[in-house]
Amino acid sequence: MKGIYAGSYDPPTNGHLWMIEQGARLFTRFYVAIGQNSQKEYCFTLDERLEMLEDLCARFDNVEVVHFENKFLVKYAESIGADYILRGIRNEKDYTYERGMRYVNGNMTDTIQTLFMMSPRYLVEVSSSLIKGLVGSDDWEQVVREYVPDTVYYRMLSKFGGINLNHARKTALEKI
């Protein structure tokens, strides 16, 4: 069985990582797909997001990081032979949106099913938008540290803290 989990991952969060771990356990082949929309502005480039996700997914033998542009997720999933789309639900708003998308996807193809997973309570408030909104405030580094994996944290220190990526890693390790 093949599954796909897609998002912009700008940046990847601990919530994304939790979903990736679940997908890696559920499917024999699991795709983590970056959906690239030419109409949207991103904090991280596509290459940066690919690198972060490849770092995060390196420990899973059955996970492949891919990307697609200006395509419906369900059509991309169909093109790679996926059987399931995995989606995370944090709250009622997510459910309402994802339920609508599931019906739209079902109108485009009936060969791919959508699976919803409820995130654990400690991840309910975590989103890429929240993380980006925290950057710049006093002590943002300590707050953001709780919500993103190490590789993402180092990238954020490098990008928004104005320090070299290797120095960011070293500085972060010293603070632990």
pLDDT in tens, 87-106: 999 999 999 999 999 999 99
The half-sphere exposure of 44 on its side-chain side, counting CA atoms within 13 A, is: 27
- Cα dihedral across residues 8, 12, 13, 17: positive or negative: positive
- Give the tens place of pLDDT for each residue, 143-174: 999 999 999 999 999 888 865 555 545 554 45
CB distance 66 to 33 below 8 Å: yes
- AA letter at 126: V
* Segment 37-70, tens digit of pLDDT: 888 899 999 999 999 999 999 999 999 999 999 8
Q: Work out the average pLDDT over 22-47.
A: 94
Q: Give the whole-angstrom CA distance, residue 127 versus residue 148.
A: 10
**So what's the pLDDT on residue 167?**
53
Question: What integer pLDDT is reported at residue 176 of this predicted model?
Answer: 43
pLDDT at site 170: 54
Question: What is the C-alpha separation between 30 and 61, in angstroms, rounded?
Answer: 10
Go through the domains of the chain in sequence order and give each one's CATH number: 2-124 (3.40.50.620)
Q: Which residues contact 155 (CB under 8 A, 6 or more apart)?
A: 11, 44, 48, 52, 165, 168
pLDDT digits (tens, 9 = 90+) for 102-151: 999 999 999 999 999 999 999 999 999 999 999 988 889 999 999 999 99
- How many CB atoms neighbour CB 31 within 10 A? 25
